[in-house]
Amino acid sequence: MKKRMLSFKYAGRGVWWACSEPNFRIHLAAASAAVFLGFWLGLSAMEWCAVLLCFSAVMSAEALNSAVEKLTDLVSPGHHVLAGKAKDLAAGAVLISAVMAAVVGCIIFLPKLAARL
């Protein structure tokens, strides 16, 4: 049981560290705006599921990107082509998830916003 509790402690610490990253904060602000907009526009349960899945995917990708960057800096403090590729791939994963989240956001939010205006 103690081991399980420690794993939650370490996971919480990881989330705390992620929140200290500037790019994670940007995604967190976007997610907060989406939640506010979702309440204001009255999203359906399925729309909420899509929005929550999208921003959790983006923030998870950003946290993993930060982990890859930190680990890469540890094992390869100097410039190395493979280290650069690892960082670029991790950043690319964030970009893919963020762009797709924006597309889903447009599909869900734009018609509702247009109807309000």
> Which residues, 6+ apart, have CB-to-CB distance to 91 below 8 Å?
65
Buried b (16+ CB within 10 A) or exposed e, 79-96: eeeebeebbeebbebbee
User: Which is catalytic among the residues 21, 47, 62, 69?
Assistant: 62
Q: In angstroms, how far apart are the furthest CA atoms of the chain?
A: 54
Of 34, 26, 89, 33, the residue nearest 59 (C-alpha): 26
Does the annotation mark 47 as catalytic? Answer: no
**Residues assigned a catalytic role:** 62
